[in-house]
Structure formats: C-alpha cells, structure tokens
Structure 1
Amino acid sequence: MQITPAKDIKSERGTYLIYGPPGMGKTTSIKHLPGKTLVLDVDRTSRVLKGEDHIDIVYVSNTATWDEWGSIILELEKNYQGVYENIVVDNISELERCLLSDLGSKGKNKGVPSQADYQYMQFRVVNSLRYMKSLGANVIWTAWEMDDLFTDSSGQQWNRSFPQLNRKILNNVLGLCDVVGKLAVNTDGERGFVLSSTNSTYAKNQIDDRKGCLQSELILKQEVEANADDQSEGEKV
C-alpha cells in the first residue's frame, strides 16, 4: 500500500453537479467559471454562452449518442488532460435520454429501450464520471430537477428535490460528486446555489464550509489558482 499522510494531501479539482428546473440558469452559470472551460453540449442550450472567449463547446450528437459519447470520453482522456480548468456536461439528464434513445433505435422494440439498454446506460454514465474525475479539471455536470415524496421511519412525509437521474445510479453519481447544488432564486431576485441539505432539498458541499453561494461563486477564482500552483509543483517534482 502507498500511504499518504492527510497533512500532505494537496488541493485537487472538484466534481460538481448543479441542478434546477429548465430555464433557471444552469447553463448561464458556466459563464462565471474561472479558467478555460470546455462545454459538452447535449441539450443545445449553449447559445447563452455566446461571446465568452474562455469557453470552448463540443456539440454531442443527439442521435448517434452512444458511440460518439464513448469516443469523446476516450479522446478527453488521451489528448486533453490538463488542457482545461473546467469540463462541463450540459446536461446529464438529457444525455441519459439520448443514450437510451440511440440504444432503443438499434433494438427490436420499435425504438423502445430494453431492460438491458437501461443497464448499459447506467454503467456508461457512472463510468464516464469516474473517467472525467481523472482529467485534471473541475468536472461540472448540470441536470434538471425532479421531486419525490419521501416518508421517514415515523411516517412523516415531505417533498424532496433531486437531480433528474436514473434512480438506479442516483446515489452512485451523487456520492462521486464533491458538491451538489440546487439553483434557486432568493427574495432579492439573485440566483444562487443551495449547498446544504435539508429534508426537502438534496445538496452537499465537501470542499469548504459554505452552505450556499451566488451563481457567480460556485467555483472561486482562488481555488483554481491554488490547484494550478499544486499542479505546477507536481510537474517540478
């Protein structure tokens, strides 16, 4: 075993999942990410990023999604490690549907995905996140929002907000993320992220002690600079 003292752990890039209803401003939030950013546009909403000179965009096929997505992940790992400070998937809810639709179109159920297709999709999504976490960049996934009715052991019920992901892999994906933020609007009309979980909202923040932040402060500039310094020190060693 290679043992690393906790005091020697360097700053690392973070893995973020931000979610909210369509049109709330998830894609607009990408404008505020500090550093060079690559957006993998699945749902075709990147037009709101027009004119941003620190952002590059790759349009992911909505039809031949299965093969193209696999090729993109492998190309990122092979040719783009350390090139971008941030890599964004916009959005994972639509990516799931596109993967299933493509698989279903190749099957024998008149376009309807089979049970096996759902399992293929689930493994591809989770494995994609694992791969992307090794690219030397902040990984940001956006998702739409869904609600469910939760009942605790005492019988009390309340509605909870979650990212819209397949239920079979929901906990797996959320567990692999350092930050899960729900996009909301406060009483002053400012958009920001809820980073602290409640009975009605799933959220978490394992990077710092903030319970919420403005839309423009999801990733702080000093965090990107600190990560860059750590990467430079590693290259020197």
Structure 2
Amino acid sequence: MALQITNAADIKTSKGTYLIYGPPGMGKTSSLKYLPGKTLVLDVDRTSKVLKGCKNIDIVQVDNINTWDFWEKLIIELYENYKGKYNNVCIDNVSELERCILSDLGSKGKNKGVPSQGDYQYMQFRLVNSLRYMKNLGCNIIWTAWENTDSYQDANGQYYNRSFPQVNHKIINNVLGLCDVVGRLAINPEGERGFILTASNSTYAKNQLDDRKGCLQSELIPAGDGVEGTKTVSKGPTK
C-alpha cells in the first residue's frame, strides 16, 4: 500500500465543519444568511422563513414524519449528485433531527410510539455516520443545535453552570470531535450577536481552524474564505 503523505506546512483550511448552538430564537438560522458563497439549507425545524430574500440560499424541506428513510436517501443524494455544487451545506437543526428520527422509529415499533433502546442506538449511529459522510462533500458543513445546560463539578469540587449543544449525550463527544469549530451564540454588552469559540468551564466551544477566540454572527466564516468573489450579506432579522 502506497501512503499518501502531506507535509503539515502544506495543509490548507479553506473548508471546515461547524456546529453552532444557542437557545431557540437566538439567531442560529439567521446566521446562515451571512455565509460566503452558495448555501444549501436542510430545514428540519421549519424556521427557514427567516432566510426570505437570500438569493444565494437554496432550501430543502426535510421530511419530519418519515425521517429515518428520507434522511438516508438525502445524504446519499447529496454525495452522488451535489458534491462540490455548494460552498456550504447546513443542517438546521440536529437537535430536532434527533427527535424526528426517534419519533419515526417509535411510530413503527410496538411500544405505542415510544422509541425503544434499539431505536436510540439506530439514531446515534445514523447521525454520526451522516456527519462523517458529509465531510466528504467538499464544502463547509454547518450543523445548528439548540442549547442545553447542566451543573458541572470540576476536579477541585467547584460547580459551574455549563452550556453545551443539545445532542444525545452518548454521541455528543463523537459529534463535537468531528467538528473543526463549535460556537455558542451569545449577545455581548453592546447588544451584538456573536459566537464564543473558545472553551471554558461553563461553555463547550472550540476553534481548530484559526486563532480567533470569538467572532461576530456575520463572521463565522469570513467572506472570501475559500470562495472567490463573495460578499457578506447585510444584517437581517434574527431567528
């Protein structure tokens, strides 16, 4: 077997995998209008109406009833027929996608619509495998998620209120590990929306693409980052 060896100095980071999260209504979906280049949004939670008027954005309504079969066919279709046709592919949002898959599987079971333990395992593997598959599309991948909070105790016994993406707890580390950037959407004292990109005891976040510790909502992916001739869209209403 011949190894394909690349020197680290030659690595380019023009494409990335992002997970952005925040409470409902904070502006996650609206953040997608600022992405440079052409964007495809896979609308799970039916909030794409806030993108009205954005000519650089195409939208696919994900079947939120027969989600299990639809999602598999959608991912395969993207890879076989749409690879390289978009600069960004966005899943909005993965928290609702989990629930839709579980609801669909539960409706097909024998427990009066309640998902079985096996259904949770099916969902977990499908989501992680989907993210791996989508990383081969040759574009930026952006997943949105709602925000969860809990109380966390560190090694010194100190407690923190911790914020993290609403992703099934058994796969959250796997999902976050496959992402280059995890950003928490927040509002600064000046009233500007932006992303926290550096981790703390109270926030799940990371940035493996550059040295930014945070950015404005409109600068998650800088205009022209791997995209020729693009401009940042002007600010609009938030979700």
* TM-based fold match above 0.5: yes
Q: Deviations over 1:50-98 (max 9, x none)?
A: 1100000000011000000000000000000000000000000000000
Aligned mate of 1:171, from 170, 173, 185: 173
Aligned-residue offset at 1:176: 0.4
Equivalent position SS for 1:166: coil
Q: Which of 117, 135, 138 pairs up with 1:115?
A: 117
Identity of aligned residues (%): 71
CA deviation profile, 1:138-159 (whole Å, cap 9, x unmatched): 0000000001111122211111
Alignment of 1:28-177 (within 5 A): 28-177=30-179
Structure 1 stretches of 4+ moved >6 Å: none
C-alpha RMSD over aligned residues: 1.2
Instruction: Specify the alignment match of 1:185 in structure 2.
Output: 187
- Matched with 1:232 is none
Q: How far did residue 12 of structure 1 move?
A: 4.1
Letter aligned with residue 106 of structure 2: G
Distance 1:11 1:62 in 2: 34
SS in 1 for 2:161: strand
Render the CA deviation track for 1:116-155: whole Å, top value 9, x for unaligned: 0000000000000001100001000000000111112221
Q: 2:222 aligns with which of 191, 199, 220?
A: 220
Task: Return the TM-score normalized by structure 1.
Answer: 0.94
Which is further off, 176-185 or 7-16?
7-16
Distance 1:188 1:64, change over 3 A: same
Output the CA distance in 2 between the equivalents of 1:4 and 1:196: 28
Pick 1 or 2: higher relative contact order, CA cutoff 8 A, min separation 6. 2
Count of residues in correspondence between the two structures = 227
Contact 2:66 2:104 in 1 (8 A): yes
- Distance in 1 separating the partners of 2:111 and 2:36: 45
- Is this contact kept in 2: 1:145–1:162, CA < 8 A? yes
The TM-score, its normalising length taken from structure 2, stands at: 0.93
Following the alignment from structure 1 to structure 2, what is the Cα–Cα distance between the partners of residues 200 and 50? 35
